[in-house]
Structure 1
């Protein structure tokens, strides 16, 4: 199948309409966009359509390109992403992009849910209490990252680095990673896409390694970054790919 036929097939599956119509005020640019994303990017790697759309919605949430997020949130539901999966993908952006931007993205996907007749609020996915959120967060964090953050924050003036390390464990890992709706392996794959979008130099390598520890192959991680590429552009995508490429094969083998 050539890229034009593949583009049309994927576009219809996602949006229910027809690609490459030649209509609108900028049909030339739309043709470039559609053929590249749906005819070429979608042909790379072993990702299924639901995973591709979860990645795309994550990237668009980080970028705050909300009109496009609305279209792709509907497309995600169209290809089988469950509402709770989409919500969790957006929720977990919060530790990385902050609450205001996350609230903007939640507002968009909730609008899509209402339009699709999906009852709100969705089912609660919390699995921790005030008493055990730190403990359960640590149980996920430590096998993947050890005490890296606590060690790096140890000499922050005023001893407040201890607070930052505690926040990361209890909030990011305890409040977010422990939630239902997505497993930790999927969460880490999507978070690598968050960091790719942000060009987050210091965080890319540890999160690439955590993906490998959880059983995600380098090839799948590469395909996820390439799925980000048409939305974030080449520079941040190339940075994230170089991190994956540069991981010592011995480290990869030890992660299996």
Structure 2
């Protein structure tokens, strides 16, 4: 059986849940729950709602639809709002791409509708077609410094549109939205990038971006810690290596 603490943490997310895997794979479930919902959590300072938010982002990036839908229910049970969950899904589009996120839009709606929640949720956009580029570039400067400005200034004519897209689409369409603050959005982006793998330059960039918005090294270590049971050791250790390359121990506060 799961130990008492693991059971309590699991019950917080899934009260009165009857697991079918508990019947078919009881030994594995006890092993996993004791690790993921007790031992791992002893080494993380993330509060429960934030832990569920970064887990949802990670599961989207890895294409884990069934586990994602289960964790949407858990997130709702601990107080994450429908608007916050929708914003996590939308935030995934510029990083994982709509090809990966499409099924999660429908999966989220399935969970919400099964619980009798009204759709659509309240709009969160703060830009218009006329303001998205300007506001996006201003937001990019706050989060990633002058990197988008440098791309706009130095890119060749047949590549400059990528910098424009970063300004008006990635930042203007998504980061300017309400529903989640910039600190949370950057933790979500970090979670997605380390979970999907193969994006080390972008991971490094968003480690710095997390610094820029006020997230500490310890917070990034906490995110890596709680995601380990879901993303595995190779991607965990790669993420840890990149954080240590970019951030010193004195930034561990």
TM-score of the aligned structures, taking structure 2 as reference length: 0.91
* Contact 1:155/1:161 (8 A) holds in 2: no
Return the alpha-carbon distance in structure 2 between the equivalents of residues 237 and 7 of structure 1. Answer: 22
* Contact 2:148/2:167 (8 A) holds in 1: no
| 1:96 equivalent in structure 2 | 95
* Contact 1:20/1:31 (8 A) holds in 2: no
Alignment of 1:188-199 (within 5 A): 188-199=186-197
Secondary structure at the counterpart of residue 79 of structure 2: coil
Give the aligned CA root-mean-square deviation in angstroms: 2.4
| 1:75 equivalent in structure 2 | 74
| 1:174 equivalent in structure 2 | 172
| 1:130 equivalent in structure 2 | 129
Measure how far apart 1:153 and its partner are: 7.7
Secondary structure at the counterpart of residue 126 of structure 2: coil
| 2:202 equivalent in structure 1 | 203
* Contact 2:140/2:148 (8 A) holds in 1: no
| 2:3 equivalent in structure 1 | 4
13-22 vs 189-198, which deviates more?
13-22
* Contact 1:196/1:204 (8 A) holds in 2: yes
Measure how far apart 1:102 and its partner are: 1.3
Measure how far apart 1:251 and its partner are: 9.1
Which consecutive residues of structure 2, in runs of 5 or more, have no partner in the other structure? none
Q: Deviations over 1:92-118 (max 9, x none)?
A: 000111112212111111111111111
| 1:234 equivalent in structure 2 | 233
| 1:56 equivalent in structure 2 | 55
Alignment length, in residue pairs? 251
Measure how far apart 1:126 and its partner are: 0.6
Return the alpha-carbon distance in structure 2 between the equivalents of residues 127 and 23 of structure 1. Answer: 45
Return the alpha-carbon distance in structure 2 between the equivalents of residues 43 and 17 of structure 1. Answer: 24
* Contact 2:94/2:170 (8 A) holds in 1: yes
Q: Deviations over 1:62-94 (max 9, x none)?
A: 111111111000000000001100110111000
TM-score of the aligned structures, taking structure 1 as reference length: 0.90
Assess, with a 3 A threshold, how the Cα gap between structure 1 residues 248 and 75 changes in structure 2: closer, same or farther.
closer
Is 1:13 the counterpart of 2:42 in the alignment? no
| 2:223 equivalent in structure 1 | 224
